[in-house]
Amino acid sequence: KMGRLLTVKTLAGFDFSFQPSLDRDRIMALAELDFVDRHEVLHFLGQPGCGKTHLALALGVEAVKTGRSVYFSTLADIVSSLAKAEREGSLRERLRFLCRPQLLIVDEIGYLPVIPGGGNLFFQLVNARYERGAMILTSNRGFSEWGDVFGGTVVATALLDRLLHHAVVVQIEGASYRLRRHAELMPES
Ligand code: ADP
Ligand code: MG
């Protein structure tokens, strides 16, 4: 049910004082999970290390605690599983499988461009879940750059049409938590 929540990340373990641009009350309100029941899409945007995966996992943990079904994966793994299913003639089944969880978390949009045809496959998944199931997406790239991520502006526009219709966007402006002990290495902000 949990997919692969290898490391447990929690809201209690998130240091909001490190990320002043982030409204703690807003995250706590999201943890009530109404967005899941409304089949909305929650986007976490920000630079590497700013806490996107941590927050997505922590909300996934909250959802599991309340008995909701959750599946966590990276975009690369989802796309390769869809491509494999397509080769094997089982794309319908794979899409149906990925439509079952009430919350689907798709991590790491934008670190790598998707494989050829991957944008189209991901669109089929997004379209199948549209208004039927909630998603959390994390990305280090702005929406205007999704054409580069998904292999073209046509597919990126179609994706964003669905993914921004009933959506909550949380932009994290802060720096990397991983590099917090190396402040002298960070660019001036
Ligand atoms: P991103 O997905 O945005 O690249 P992560 O969520 O993976 O970043 O965060 C990087 C590491 O720093 C993880 O181990 C995460 O648990 C930790 N981390 C990030 N932000 C915070 C924070 N504000 N408080 C506590 N731990 C944090
Ligand atoms: Mg991450």
Q: Which ligand is nearest to the CA of 49?
A: 1
Residue 151 lies in domain: 29-173
Contact of 114 with 151, CB cutoff 8 Å: yes
Query: Average pLDDT in the 68-89 region?
Result: 98
78 lies in some domain: yes
Does residue 80 register a pLDDT over 80? yes
Atom of ligand 1 nearest to the CA of 19: 23
15 lies in some domain: no
184 lies in some domain: no
130 lies in some domain: yes
Distance CA 155, CA 185 (A): 37
141 lies in some domain: yes
45 lies in some domain: yes
CATH number at residue 97: 3.40.50.300
Which residues are close to ligand 2, an ion, with C-beta < 5 A? 53
186 lies in some domain: no
Q: What is the pLDDT of residue 186?
A: 58
Torsion, CA 1, CA 16, CA 170, CA 68, rounded to 10: 20
The mean pLDDT of the chain is 93
Q: Total structural domains in the chain?
A: 1
Query: Average pLDDT in the 80-85 region?
Result: 98
Does residue 159 register a pLDDT over 70? yes
Q: Could you report the per-residue pLDDT of 4-13, keeping only the tens digit for each?
A: 555 689 999 9
Q: What is the pLDDT of residue 6?
A: 53
Residues with CB under 6 A from ligand 1: 9, 14-15, 18-19, 46, 48-54, 138, 177-178
Does residue 57 register a pLDDT over 70? yes
Q: Which ligand is nearest to the CA of 52?
A: 1
106 lies in some domain: yes
